[in-house]
Amino acid sequence: MKIGTPKEVMEGEARVAMTPDSAKMLQKLGYDCAIETGAGDKAGFPDAAYEEAGVEIIKTAAALYKEADVIAKVQPPTDTEVKRLSEKKLLISFFWPGQNEDLMKAAADKGASVIAMDMVPRISRAQKMDALSSMANIAGYRAVIEAGNNFGRFFTGQVTAAGKVPPAKVLIVGAGVAGLAAIGTSTSLGAITLAFDVRPEVAEQVESMGAEFVYLDFEEDQEDGSESGGYAKPSSPEFREAQLAKFRELAPDVDIVITTALIPNREAPELWTEDMVKAMKPGSVIVDLAAEKGGNCKLTQKDKKIVTDNGVTIIGYTDFPSRMAKQSSLLYATNIRHLMTDLTPEKDGQVNHNMEDDVIRGATVAHEKEVTFPPPPPKTK
Ligand code: NAD
């Protein structure tokens, strides 16, 4: 069978789903590999690098879709791309099935199978295929770099002949995958780093990374914001008030705020209010990684950078992984390669779409002319 990767068509998307290295591994599984010419250019992988890795270069997307049995890409398919699918073809990409029901139905009607990378169950066995985590890790790192780029001072404190420089103070709200990556980056740059999450079990992780966990002045401090699967649940009004009171206290003191707080299947909780922005010092920076879901900061504008009247920069970009396209492509292509390994138990270049396998079943949203989303809960951990 042949695995093909087309050029991404979404404007601004610089990632690519197959790299020369991943192609070599896919060939070891028995597959032929192909890319559309120029597919890796924006991520720093020219056609020549693919050719050297034994990848066929195909001139047009139409020809690639025709020739490949498995199409691996990053963004969900467009209508045109779905029309190019046909019976027995397998599409692997981010898909966001809850938001793309028509697309999913159209792919199922075509008889194609679809594996949504965003639906890979977050169980231990599937970590190597967990593209949500690999991309969140990059977003957390890049959020700190972006903040630093817009902040006029050092992160680390210094004593120089020209004067003493205090360290920057960074607050990370939400210590999931992106938040922990941001904490690691911020502490390694030397900033005083504070972090908060509604899930108390992350306090230890935060502290082990050299950051300070922010505890609330909350009588029933025992409120546990954890839901099943390691995700958060909405807070009680009292807990939320205590959280906002603590943030109000911190706002004049912190230089950089990175917000990453999300609750599955909901709009992002609003945690950094207008008065907190107003209380911040001029030159401070907020990076809102929840911008896609409405933002944790009241003033965030999706995909924009704004500067408020009191001189606070608020960044609401939603394409952080694409801004580090080489790194993201390397990790995403590796996630796909691991998925293909599980789909190819015989290493014979033939897909065995085993719907009894929890991970494959969980991520499959269309198969044998049926929409297979939502999946049943996984049986294993
Ligand atoms: P996420 O993107 O859904 O949320 C980000 C963080 O925001 C979470 O830590 C959440 O607790 C926090 N949050 C929600 N509301 C908040 C509020 N009001 N104030 C402050 N913080 C708030 O989460 P994620 O990063 O995708 O991961 C969440 C969990 O899943 C983590 O425990 C992670 O370790 C776990 N996980 C497990 C696996 C695996 O086992 N394979 C893979 C990935 C993630």
Instruction: Using the predicted structure, report yes or no on whether residue 356 has a pLDDT greater than 70.
Output: yes
334 Rama sector, left if φ>0, alpha if ψ -120 to 50, beta otherwise: alpha
Over residues 140-152, mean pLDDT: 98
Q: Is 127 in the pocket of ligand 1 (CB under 6 A)?
A: yes
Q: Among 8-12, 108-112, 339-343, 374-378, where is mean pLDDT lowest?
A: 374-378
Q: Is 122 in the pocket of ligand 1 (CB under 6 A)?
A: yes
Provide the pLDDT confidence category of residue 380 given band limits of 50, 70 and 90.
low
In the residue annotation, 231 being an active-site residue is answered as yes
Instruction: Using the predicted structure, report yes or no on whether residue 222 has a pLDDT greater than 70.
Output: no
For residue 299, how far is its CA from the centre of ligand 1 (angstroms)?
Answer: 23
The residue whose CA is least distant from atom 4 of ligand 1 is 262
Tens of pLDDT, residues 26-79: 999 999 999 999 999 999 999 999 999 999 999 999 999 999 999 999 999 999
Tens of pLDDT, residues 333-351: 999 999 999 999 999 999 9
Q: Give Cα 374 to chain centroid, integer Å.
A: 21
Q: In the sheet that 113-116 helps form, which strands lie side by side, from edge to edge?
A: 56-58, 32-36, 2-5, 70-72, 90-93, 113-116, 364-367, 370-371
- CA separation for the pair 112, 369 (Å, rounded): 7
**Would you tell me the crossing angle of helices 325-343 and 131-150 to the nearest 10 degrees?**
170
In the residue annotation, 127 being an active-site residue is answered as yes
ipTM over 0.90: yes
Instruction: Using the predicted structure, report yes or no on whether residue 234 has a pLDDT greater than 90.
Output: no
User: Which of the listed residues 118, 119, 120, 122 should we mutate to test ligand 1's pocket, taking the one with most ligand atoms within 8 A of CB?
Assistant: 122
State the pLDDT at residue 304.
98
Contact call for residues 270 and 295 (beta carbons, < 8 A): yes
Contact call for residues 240 and 265 (beta carbons, < 8 A): no
State the pLDDT at residue 175.
98
> Average pLDDT of the chain?
96
Q: Is 4 in the pocket of ligand 1 (CB under 6 A)?
A: no
Over residues 223-231, mean pLDDT: 75
Catalytic residue of the set 86, 127, 158, 236: 127
Q: Is 235 in the pocket of ligand 1 (CB under 6 A)?
A: yes
User: Which of the listed residues 183, 198, 241 should we mutate to test ligand 1's pocket, taking the one with most ligand atoms within 8 A of CB?
Assistant: 198
Provide the pLDDT confidence category of residue 292 given band limits of 50, 70 and 90.
very high
In the residue annotation, 122 being an active-site residue is answered as yes
**Which among 369, 372, 371 has a CA at the least distance from the CA of 86?**
369
State the pLDDT at residue 220.
57
Instruction: Using the predicted structure, report yes or no on whether residue 379 has a pLDDT greater than 80.
Output: no
State the pLDDT at residue 321.
98
State the pLDDT at residue 45.
98
The residue whose CA is least distant from atom 32 of ligand 1 is 230
Instruction: Using the predicted structure, report yes or no on whether residue 24 has a pLDDT greater than 70.
Output: yes
For residue 132, how far is its CA from the centre of ligand 1 (angstroms)?
Answer: 11
**Which among 45, 30, 32 has a CA at the least distance from the CA of 4?**
32
Q: Is 231 in the pocket of ligand 1 (CB under 6 A)?
A: yes
Q: Is 261 in the pocket of ligand 1 (CB under 6 A)?
A: yes
State the pLDDT at residue 132.
97
Tens of pLDDT, residues 81-118: 999 999 999 999 999 999 999 999 999 999 999 999 99
Instruction: Using the predicted structure, report yes or no on whether residue 381 has a pLDDT greater than 80.
Output: no
Instruction: Using the predicted structure, report yes or no on whether residue 228 has a pLDDT greater than 80.
Output: no
Catalytic residue of the set 122, 153, 240, 323: 122
For residue 228, how far is its CA from the centre of ligand 1 (angstroms)?
Answer: 11
Tens of pLDDT, residues 173-196: 999 999 999 999 999 999 999 999
Over residues 315-341, mean pLDDT: 98
In the residue annotation, 133 being an active-site residue is answered as yes
**Please, which residues have CB within 8 angstroms of residue 377's CB and are 6 or more apart in sequence?**
none
Over residues 4-32, mean pLDDT: 98
Q: Is 177 in the pocket of ligand 1 (CB under 6 A)?
A: yes
Over residues 5-11, mean pLDDT: 97
- CA separation for the pair 52, 74 (Å, rounded): 23
